[in-house]
Amino acid sequence: MSKLTRQRLGDIASHCREITTANAGKNPDVHKDDCSKIVELYDHLDHLASPEAIRSMALEILHLRRLMGVRVWTVDPARLNEFLSAKPEGMSAQEWFNQQYLTEVKE
């Protein structure tokens, strides 16, 4: 487990939200065209979340997913139309979808 405190993780998440809302033009404190403020936000984030901190978070998430048995699934887009028109009577869409179209991705 990383040595990032709950407070620091919260600060990183909060600061990322400030940046994303500013870039989307939805931050009342920072206009998206105010380059100096945007740079200031990114500089502060760089201080909070160094590459080492981000690597630590990523490794922790990967480790937790392995422990929890989280699986990643993909859907074959070419078969989606077929799915929409071929569901058997009496079978839920979720059952049909799971049975026919999900493919487990191996790590």
- Note the pLDDT tens digit of each residue in 2-28: 677 888 888 998 998 999 899 899 999
One DSSP character per residue, 7-63 reads HHHHHHHHHHHHHHHHHTT--TTS-TT-HHHHHHHHHHHHHHS-HHHHHHHHHHHHH
Confidence of residue 105 (pLDDT cuts 50, 70, 90): very low
Confidence of residue 57 (pLDDT cuts 50, 70, 90): confident
Check whether 67 has a pLDDT greater than 70: yes
Residue 36 has pLDDT above 50, yes or no: yes
- Please give the structure tokens belonging to residue 80: 């989606």
Residue carrying the six token digits 């077929």:
82
Check residue 8 and give its pLDDT: 87
